[in-house]
């Protein structure tokens, strides 16, 4: 009987458990997590914060679902892996054997490096425990400052506003998420935030968090402004939690390096999800994503390979559907380049690939809050950003991911004022007729 | 043909109210639970999205709450069309 150990109970760990159990009815599966709440929807935390769902909804699996998988679950911290001995060592010193091991420890929020970061009231949105903590603080707070970029920063901003806090959002530059969105898209998001009552401070950097009796009382900006607040929320990116692999001499770079079978530099140890750095056949590079879909797919592939079913993981053009200032937004493929000073590295709900745009031509159509941007290569659509009306997001996702030859409409798309939406829609329907 | 003509979203929605079911696109779902939370008759729509299965529950009212509230466009109505042979 094979003994599988999975470290991490996020989407990747759960998907791996399912894949293993589907092919190995008798193997022993042990799921170890250091999160006392086990498996829950991390993206769902944003909606718990706004009050759109209550806490019990965060847990996708019932006890019955877990029983069906016949898993043993424990809450514990793994201190070290001994690859040659096929054992893991817990923080308590106890050792457990494994035949196949999966590291699916995810990513953790990067801490801000400013004076006052240790004050009570400085928060991040990384876990259920964090969210509970924020909700507790909100009860006694009047105003909040949010610092950072990407999706998580906006989730914090929207959460604070939904709970009626005066909300200040600091941007280091002159616009939001500058290396994924373009100027028009950033403007749409910022405008909507302002309409909701969020005060955006452009070109503003946090210098110091000020405290009173150990609690946040305000912030000082680098240009000397003082803003009163009781909460400072930081979302400046996440780091893959690769320490366990590092101390166990597995090959790491930005994340834990894996081959196309999700295998690390040690034959019987696999990695998947936000912690894994995966080979991308499109760019020829190894990349990290922090996306639910790929985490689940990687977990499934890892699980199958652990169970002896050789299955390569093919990384596709990454995409995410998210809500930016209450506007559903789909980001597909590669859409921009450069750096965003509000983020260090990658954020949650983010992909490195989005910022790998080679020379490409952009075509854009805006109508009110709806916006569509297409990034065109010579024959293919390299990426797309669909904001607001999502009618085209499904066809565009397929066109980008399946690398559909768009030569028949390329010239028309590039005409000034071209009806992009109609062109794509017609192209898509023709494609499906033939 | 324009987008409206092609997708006929509203028409499909109304049709689905009487003869449709809710179909998930698993690749978009992050299991947040908003769909299940808003189902008036407590169907676990999220579970269907995880498994990639249409909501064929005969109790489903096709009220559209889950479709409308999903923040990531995971769910859509699809017509069952009872008068066509299904494979």
Residue A330: which H helix or E strand, with range?
Answer: strand A327-333
Contact (CB, 8 A) for B24 and B74: yes
According to the model, what pLDDT value does residue A311 have?
96
Chain Cα centroid distance, residue A243: 19
The average confidence (pLDDT) of chain B is 82
Contact (CB, 8 A) for A50 and A57: no
According to the model, what pLDDT value does residue B16 have?
58
The mean pLDDT value for B57-82 works out to 87
3-state secondary structure of B74: coil
Q: The domain B9-79: what is its CATH number?
A: 3.30.70.20
Domains of chain A, residue spans = 3-108+238-306, 111-235, 321-433
φ, ψ of residue A346 to 5 degrees: the values are -100, 155
Residue A376 tokens read as 């065109």
According to the model, what pLDDT value does residue B15 have?
61
Nearest to B71 among A54, A323, A422 (CB): A323
According to the model, what pLDDT value does residue A417 have?
86
Q: Does the distance separating the beta carbons of A322 and B32 come in below 8 Å?
A: no
Q: Is B51 touching A (CB cutoff 8 A)?
A: no
Nearest to A58 among B28, B33, B50 (CB): B33
The mean pLDDT value for B8-23 works out to 69
Mutate to test the interface with A, among B9, B10, B11, B31 (most CBs of A within 10 A): B31
According to the model, what pLDDT value does residue B10 have?
64
According to the model, what pLDDT value does residue B86 have?
44
CATH 2.40.400.10 assigned to domain A321-433? The reply is no
Report pLDDT digits (tens) over A111-140.
999 999 999 999 999 999 999 999 999 999
How much of chain B exceeds pLDDT 70, in percent?
A: 69
Least confident of A48-57, A236-245, A279-288, B26-35: A279-288
CATH class given for the domain over A3-108+238-306: alpha beta
> How far apart are alpha carbons A154 and A149 in whole angstroms?
7
> How far apart are alpha carbons A232 and A235 in whole angstroms?
10
Can A3-108+238-306 and A111-235 be said to share one CATH topology? Answer: yes
According to the model, what pLDDT value does residue B13 have?
57
According to the model, what pLDDT value does residue A33 have?
97
Residue A250 tokens read as 């597995």
The mean pLDDT value for A316-332 works out to 92
Across the A/B interface, how many CB contacts are shorter than 8 Å? 80
DSSP A72-83: EEEE--EEEEET
Residue A353 tokens read as 């690939």
Residue A320 tokens read as 């995410």
Chain Cα centroid distance, residue A190: 21
Q: Does the distance separating the beta carbons of B73 and A53 come in below 8 Å?
A: no
According to the model, what pLDDT value does residue A237 have?
95
Domains of chain B, residue spans = 9-79
Q: Looking at this predicted complex, what is its ipTM?
A: 0.92
Query: Which of 3.40.30.10, 3.30.450.20, 3.50.50.60, 3.40.50.11540 would CATH assign to domain A111-235?
Result: 3.50.50.60
The average confidence (pLDDT) of chain A is 94
**B47 or B3, which is more confident:** B47
Contact (CB, 8 A) for A373 and A364: yes
DSSP A356-390: ---S-EEEEEEETTEEEEEEE-SSSEEEEEEES--
3-state secondary structure of A181: coil
What's the length of chain B?
87
Report pLDDT digits (tens) over A366-414.
777 789 999 999 899 999 999 998 889 999 999 999 999 999 999 999 9
According to the model, what pLDDT value does residue A359 have?
75
Whole-Å CA distances, A235 to A111, A135, A151, A227, A311: 8, 17, 9, 19, 36
Q: Is B3 touching A (CB cutoff 8 A)?
A: yes
Q: Which residues contact B39 (CB under 8 A, 6 or more apart)?
A: B45, B65, B66
């Amino acid at each position: 009987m094979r003994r599988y150990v999975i470290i991490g109970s996020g989407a990747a760990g759960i998907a791996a458990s399912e894949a293993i159990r589907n092919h190995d009815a008798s193997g022993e599966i042990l799921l170890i997590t250091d999160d006392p709440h086990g498996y829950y929807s991390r993206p769902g935390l944003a909606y718990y914060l706004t009050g759109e769902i209550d806490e019990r909804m965060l847990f996708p699996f019932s006890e019955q679902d877990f029983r069906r998988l016949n898993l043993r679950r424990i809450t514990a911290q793994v201190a070290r892996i001994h690859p040659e001995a096929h054992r893991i060592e817990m923080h308590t010193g106890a050792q457990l054997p494994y035949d196949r091991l999966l590291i699916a420890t995810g990513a953790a929020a990067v801490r801000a490096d400013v004076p006052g970061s240790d004050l009570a009231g400085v928060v991040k949105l990384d876990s259920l425990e964090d969210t509970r903590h924020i909700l507790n603080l909100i009860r006694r707070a009047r105003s909040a400052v949010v610092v950072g970029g990407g999706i998580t920063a906006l989730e914090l901003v929207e959460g604070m506003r939904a709970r009626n806090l005066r909300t200040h959002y600091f941007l280091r530059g002159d616009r939001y998420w500058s290396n994924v969105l373009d100027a028009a898209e950033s403007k749409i998001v910022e405008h909507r935030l302002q309409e909701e009552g969020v005060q955006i401070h452009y070109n503003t950097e946090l210098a110091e968090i000020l405290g009173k009796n150990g609690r946040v009382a305000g912030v000082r900006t680098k240009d000397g402004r003082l803003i009163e607040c009781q909460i400072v929320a930081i979302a400046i990116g996440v780091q893959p939690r690769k320490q366990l692999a590092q101390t166990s001499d597995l090959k790491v770079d930005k994340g834990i390096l894996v081959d196309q079978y999700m295998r690390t530099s040690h034959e019987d140890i696999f990695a998947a999800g936000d912690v894994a750095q995966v080979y991308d056949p499109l760019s020829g590079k190894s990349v990290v994503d922090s996306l639910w879909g790929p985490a689940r797919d990687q977990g499934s592939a890892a699980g199958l390979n652990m169970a002896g079913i050789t299955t390569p993981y093919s990384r596709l053009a990454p995409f995410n559907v998210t809500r930016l200032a209450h506007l559903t937004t789909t980001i597909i493929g590669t859409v921009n380049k450069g750096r965003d000073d509000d983020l260090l590295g990658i954020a949650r709900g983010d992909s490195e690939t989005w910022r790998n745009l080679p020379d490409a031509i952009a075509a854009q159509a805006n109508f009110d809050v709806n916006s569509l941007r297409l990034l065109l290569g010579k024959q293919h659509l390299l990426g797309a950003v669909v904001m607001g009306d999502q009618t085209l997001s499904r066809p565009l996702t397929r066109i980008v991911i399946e690398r559909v030859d768009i030569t028949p409409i390329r010239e028309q798309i590039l005409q000034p004022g071209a009806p992009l939406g109609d062109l794509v829609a017609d192209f898509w329907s023709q494609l499906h007729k033939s | 043909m324009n987008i409206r003509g092609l997708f006929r979203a509203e028409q499909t929605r109304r049709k689905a109210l009487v003869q449709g079911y809710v179909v998930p696109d698993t690749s978009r779902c992050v299991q947040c639970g908003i769909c299940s939370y808003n189902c008036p008759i407590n169907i676990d729509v999220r579970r269907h999205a995880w498994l990639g299965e249409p909501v064929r529950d005969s109790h489903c009212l096709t009220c559209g709450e889950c479709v409308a509230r999903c923040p990531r466009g995971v769910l859509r109505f699809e017509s069952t069309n009872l008068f066509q042979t299904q494979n």
